[in-house]
Amino acid sequence: MPAYRSTVLLCAGGGCISCGCLPVREAMEAELKRRNLADEVRVVQTGCVGSCDLGPVLIVYPDEVFYQKVSPGDVPKLVDEHFLKGRVFERLLVKSAETDNLIATQREFAFFNKQVKIVLENCGVIDPENIEEYVARGGYLALGQVISERTPEWVIEELKKSGLRGRGGAGFPAGTKWDFVRKAPGERKYVVCNADEGDPGAFMDRSVLEGDPHRVLEAMAIAGFAASADQGYIYVRAEYPLAIRRTRRAIQQAREAGFLGRNLFESSFSFDIDIRVGAGAFVCGEETALLASIEGKRGIPRPRPPFPAVSGLWGKPTLINNVETYACIVPIITRGGDWYASIGTEKSKGTKVFALAGKIRNTGLVEVPMGTTLREIVYDIGGGVPNGRKFKAAQTGGPSGGCIPAEHLDIPMDYESLAKVGSIVGSGGLIIMDEDSCMVDVAKFFMEFCTDESCGKCPPCRVGTRQIYGLLDKITKGEARIEDLHLLEELCGMVKESSLCGLGQTAPNPVLSTLRYFRDEYLEHIVDRRCPAKVCPSLIRYSIDEAACTGCSLCARNCPENTIFKVEDQKKYRIDPARCVKCGVCFDVCRFGAVVKS
Amino acid sequence: MKLSELQEWRERAARGISVRGEQKDWRIVVSMGTSGIAAGAREVMRALMDEIERQELENVEVALTGSLGMDDVEPVLRVERAGETIVYGNLDPDAARRIVTEHIRQGRKVERYVIGLPKEKE
Amino acid sequence: MDEIALHILDIAMNAVTAGARRLEIAVHEDHERDRLEVRVADDGKGMDAEQLRRVLEQFASDKSGRRHPIGLGLALLEQTAEACGGQMRVASRPGRGTEVAAWMRLSHVDRPPLGDLKDTVFALCVGAPDVDMALTYRRNGWTARFGSAAVRRELGPGQSLQSPVGLRAVRRALLGVPDS
CATH classification (class only), C4-173? alpha beta
CB contact under 8 A, B63 and C10: no
CA distance B83 to chain C (A): 20
**pLDDT band, residue A507 (cuts 50/70/90):** very high
* Exposure letters A188-219 (e unless 16+ CB within 10 A, then b): ebbbbbbbbbbbbbbbbbbbbbbbbbbbbbbb
Would the pLDDT of A133 be above 80?
Answer: yes
Asked if residue A346 belongs to a domain, the reply is: no
ipTM over 0.90: no
- Comparing alpha-carbon positions, the chain A residue that sits nearest to C151 is A335
Burial class (CB in 10 A: 0-12, 13-18, 19+), A56: buried
pLDDT of the residue at A578:
86
CB B46 within 8 A of CB B11: no
Fold that domain B21-113 belongs to in CATH:
Glutaredoxin (3.40.30)
Distance CA A535, CA A443 (A): 13
* CA–CA distance, C23 with C11 (Å, rounded to integer): 11
**Would you call C167 and B53 a contact, using CB atoms and an 8 Å cutoff?**
yes
> Could you tell me which residue, C153 or C132, shows the higher pLDDT?
C132
Which has the higher per-residue pLDDT, A330 or B105?
A330
Nearest Cβ partner of B6 from A61, A107, A141? A141
CB distance A128 to A47 below 8 Å: yes
Q: Where are the domains of chain B?
A: 21-113
Residues of C in contact with B63 (CB under 8 A): 127-128
CATH, residue A580: 3.30.70.20
Q: How many CA within 13 A on the CB side of residue C171?
A: 17
Q: Look at residue C70 in the predicted model and tell me its pLDDT.
A: 53
Chains with ≥3 CB–CB distances under 8 Å to C = A, B
pLDDT score recorded for residue C156: 66
Which residue of chain B comes nearest to C61, CA vs CA? B34
First to last CA, chain C: 15
Q: Evaluate whether residue A116 is within a structural domain.
A: no
Question: Any idea where the domains of chain C sit in the sequence?
Answer: 4-173
Mean pLDDT for chain A? Answer: 90
| Average pLDDT estimate for C156-168 | 72
Shared domain for A157 and A276, answered yes or no, is yes
A388 in the same domain as A316: no
Closest residue of A to C146, CA-based?
A339
A60 is in which domain, residue-wise? Answer: 6-110
Q: A282 with A230, same domain?
A: yes
Encoded amino acid at A461, one letter: C
Chain B contact for A172 (CB, 8 A cutoff):
no
Using a CB-CB distance cutoff of 8 angstroms, which residues of chain A are in contact with residue B19? 3-7, 61-62
Q: In which band, very low, low, confident or very high, does the pLDDT at A464 lie, cut at 50, 70 and 90?
A: very high
Q: Is C105 helix (H, G, I), strand (E, B) or coil?
A: strand
User: Are B1 and A259 within 8 A, CB to CB?
Assistant: yes
Q: Average of pLDDT values for C45-69?
A: 63
Residue C159 pLDDT level (bands cut at 50, 70, 90) = low
Across A142-156, A304-318, B73-87, least confident range: B73-87
Say whether pLDDT at C66 is over 50. no
Regarding whether A446 and A384 lie in a shared domain, the answer is no
Choose among A105, A132, A148: nearest Cβ to B3.
A148
Q: Which residue in the set C150, C151, C176 is minimally distant from A342, CB to CB? A: C176
Indicate yes or no: CB of A258 within 8 angstroms of CB of B16: no
Q: What is the β-pairing status of strands B84-88 and C22-30?
A: unpaired
Q: Are A391 and A409 in contact (CB under 8 A)?
A: yes
- Overall number of domains in chain A: 5
**Interface residue A6 vs chain B (CB under 8 A):** yes
Q: Which helix (H) or strand (E) holds A482?
A: helix A482-498
The string of DSSP codes covering A427-472 is T-EEEEEETT--HHHHHHHHHHHHHHH--SSSHHHHHHHHHHHHHH
Domain check: are A320 and A191 in the same one? yes
The C residues from 116 to 155 touching A (CB cutoff 8 Å) are 141-147, 150-151, 153-155
CB–CB of B1 and A6 under 8 A? no
The closest alpha carbon to A383, from A362, A412, A406, A357, belongs to A362
Q: What is the DSSP letter of C161?
A: T
Nearest by CB to A136, from B3, B14, B56: name it: B14
Tell whether the model's pLDDT for residue A86 goes beyond 70.
yes
Chain B hits for C67, CB-CB cut-off 8 Å, are: 66-69, 121
The CATH number of residue A410's host domain is 3.10.20.600
CATH number at residue A156: 3.40.50.11540
Closest approach of chain A CAs to the CA of B53, in angstroms? Answer: 9
Across the interface, do A339 and C176 touch by the CB < 8 Å criterion?
yes
Distance CA B32, CA B43 (A): 11
A125 inside domain: no
Question: Is the model's pLDDT at A155 over the cut of 70?
Answer: yes
Closest Cα in chain B, distance from residue C95 (Å): 20
pLDDT, residue C157, reads 60
Cα A5–A7–A12 angle (5° rounding)? 170
Mean pLDDT calculated for residue range A96-112: 72
C-beta atoms surrounding A255 within 10 Å: 14
Q: Do A1 and B16 touch (CB under 8 A)?
A: yes
Shortest Cα distance, chain A CAs vs residue B68, angstroms: 34
Last residue of a domain, one of A306, A340, A374: A340
Burial A268-284 (b: 16+ CB within 10 A, else e): ebebbbebbbbebbbbb
Phi, psi of A541 (to 5 degrees): -135, 145
Measure the CA–CA gap between A52 and A60, rounded to whole angstroms: 17
pLDDT of residue B116: 67
* Position A369, amino acid: P
Nearest to A449 by CA among A398, A513, A525: A398
* Domain presence at residue A566: yes
The answer to whether residue B119 neighbours chain C at the CB level (below 8 Å) is no
pLDDT for C130 beyond 90: no
Chain A residue numbers with beta carbons less than 8 Å from the beta carbon of B13 are: 1, 132-133, 135-136
* CA dihedral of residues A58, A62, A65, A70 (deg, nearest 10): -20
pLDDT of residue A250: 96
A interface test, pick of B5, B6, B58 with most A CB neighbours within 10 Å: B6
Which residue spans within A251-387 are E strands per DSSP?
Answer: 272-278, 318-322, 351-358, 364-369
Confidence check: pLDDT of A146 > 70: yes
User: Going by DSSP bridges, is the β-strand pair A6-11/A41-46 parallel, antiparallel, or unpaired?
Assistant: parallel
Question: A452 with A423, same domain?
Answer: no
pLDDT of residue B120: 44
Residue A144 to residue B6, Cβ atoms within 8 A: yes
- The number of residues in chain A equals 598
Q: Give CA–CA dist A275/B78, Å, rounded.
A: 57
